[in-house]
Amino acid sequence: MKSGYVVTRDGVSIYYEVDGMGEPLVLVEGLGYANWMWIKQRSLANYVKLIIYDNRGAGLSSKPDKPYTMDDFANDLEDLLNYLSIDRAFIWGVSMGGMIAMYFTYRNPGRVKGLILGETNFGVKSLPPSKEALEVLLKPPNPNLDRRQMLIERMRVAFSKDFFERHRDEVERIVEVRMMFEEDPKAYNNQLAAVLTFDFKDRLPNIVVPTLIVTGDEDYVVNPENSRIMNQLMPNSKLVILKGAGHLAIIERADDYNMLVLNFINDVINGTFKPSKEAMVI
């Protein structure tokens, strides 16, 4: 594995890691999350050339003090691919990363072999999160909780209820890894600014690259119904629903999810990908 930094066109340092060989697969993070979120995807480097990076405002990348835009995020991804001399790649974005991935594809359709959109939506016209998720995510910090306890509480809605209760030890291990990364509330809000101004519903039909849409049917953070809408509006897409999985389905159902992605990549390369408006439930 190699890692390093690329300095983008506006002087922001973006941290990246490259591991493996084969088809390039770029992983794009969610709001406020760093590269720890891909803890169960790193094994994919056995099959593809895996590119993981931290968005501006998160992880080991710079945190410029101004509100970000989707153009900023798309520029960062473009500059990273140029720096790594990658002309075309598969792009996998989760949550906010899905927004970045689809916007990047809209701007650079010739650079995307295939698009994977996980647990995401299309911006301001999307159906809202669950009331429970909004209460947890918008709640001010509890002064009686330390950072570890606060992260566990916030991540409760990122998992299905069943997974959070039955795999509490795993949740706590993930939080331990997450705590290695500094999280800046101001940088989080700067990222959030891009999400709150994203309006992509009317452009979804313009995404014509092969697209795999994945959602958990117990995602409390991003309403799963948004994935159905995306599937209907994106002409070259198929939808897979992971039964019983929450927002962090990449962790809850990692083996199934990773296999879906690898099969999708193979189908696109072999010319056997078939779009469908009927959701597959697994």
Q: What residues form DSSP beta bridges with 114? A: 90
Residues in contact with 140: Cβ distance below 8 Å, sequence separation at least 6, in sequence order: none
245: buried, middle or exposed (CB in 10 Å: 19+, 13-18, 0-12)?
buried
Q: Coil, helix or strand for 242? A: strand
Q: What residues form DSSP beta bridges with 214? A: 118, 240
Q: What residues form DSSP beta bridges with 90? A: 25, 114
pTM as predicted: 0.96
Q: Give the separation between CA 89 and CA 115, rounded to whole angstroms.
A: 9
- Beta strands 49-53; 89-94: pairing state: unpaired
Q: Which amino acid belongs to residue 27?
A: L
Q: Write the secondary structure of 83-94 as one string of H (helix), E (strand) and C (coil).
A: HCCCCCEEEEEE
Q: Which amino acid belongs to residue 120?
A: T
Is the distance from CB of 81 to CB of 90 less than 8 angstroms? no
Per-residue pLDDT of the chain (282 residues; tens, 9 = 90+): 999 999 999 999 999 999 999 999 999 999 999 999 999 999 999 999 999 999 999 999 999 999 999 999 999 999 999 999 999 999 999 999 999 999 999 999 999 999 999 999 999 999 998 887 777 766 666 777 888 998 998 889 999 999 999 999 999 999 999 999 989 999 999 999 999 999 999 999 999 999 999 999 999 999 999 999 999 999 999 999 999 999 999 999 999 999 999 999 999 999 999 999 999 999
- Beta strands 2-7; 13-19: pairing state: antiparallel
Mark out the alpha helices in 123-207 (DSSP H runs).
131-138, 147-155, 161-166, 168-178, 185-196
88: buried, middle or exposed (CB in 10 Å: 19+, 13-18, 0-12)?
middle
Tell me the backbone φ, ψ of residue 161, rounded to 5 degrees. -60, -40
Mark out the alpha helices in 84-166 (DSSP H runs).
96-107, 131-138, 147-155, 161-166
